[in-house]
Amino acid sequence: MNSFEWYSPRIGAPIVSIATYGLTFSSGAVEALGNAKFVMLGFDEERRIIGVKACDEDNAKAIEFYGRIRNGYVRISNKDFIRFLESKMPEDFKVDSKAVKYFTRWDKENEILTVDLNQPMD
């Protein structure tokens, strides 16, 4: 038995872009989250990792996700979350209006899409 995860050129790599307006999820990232209706955003300050967890119901921590799909990607406009990130990161970390892209990783155990802010794409 193999454990390959097959790449789909139609969908592309799971990438999250971060800019002053919020977060943009590529179609690969949308699929990784299972086309979730809602997501919750979290942040691990010690490791500097954003966590995105799918949820099926609207609650106080949930953000609409699936209903925001446009041309295969999802944009979550949330300047407050970006300000929150900046307040938790070192002073040299600033989010610009030009989006910075990050590859994501799927944490199978916790079912969380993770974005490592220590490793932006070049």
- Is residue 5 situated within a structural domain? no
CA dist., res. 74 & res. 31, Å (int): 11
- Is residue 1 situated within a structural domain? no
> pTM above the 0.75 mark?
yes
- Is residue 21 situated within a structural domain? yes
- Is residue 66 situated within a structural domain? yes
Structure tokens at 27: 């179609």
> Can you tell me the mean pLDDT for 115-120?
94
The 10s digit of each residue's pLDDT in 7-51 is 666 667 899 999 999 999 999 999 999 889 999 999 999 999 999
- Is residue 121 situated within a structural domain? no
Name the region of 34 (left: φ>0; alpha: ψ -120 to 50; beta: rest): left
Mind spelling out the 3-state secondary structure of the chain? Answer: CCCCCCCCCCCCCCEEEEECCEEEECHHHHHHCCCCCEEEEEEECCCCEEEEEEECCCCCCCEECHHHEECCEEEEECHHHHHHHHHHCCCCCCCCCCCEEEEEEEECCCCEEEEECCCCCC
- Is residue 65 situated within a structural domain? yes
Above 70 in pLDDT, residue 118? yes
User: Is the separation of the CB atoms in 14 and 31 below 8 Å?
Assistant: yes
User: Is the separation of the CB atoms in 101 and 119 below 8 Å?
Assistant: no
CA dist., res. 43 & res. 9, Å (int): 30
User: Is the separation of the CB atoms in 95 and 13 below 8 Å?
Assistant: no
Domain limits for position 84: 15-116
Above 90 in pLDDT, residue 94? no
Number of structural domains the chain divides into: 1
At residue 40, the pLDDT reads 95
- Is residue 122 situated within a structural domain? no
- Is residue 19 situated within a structural domain? yes
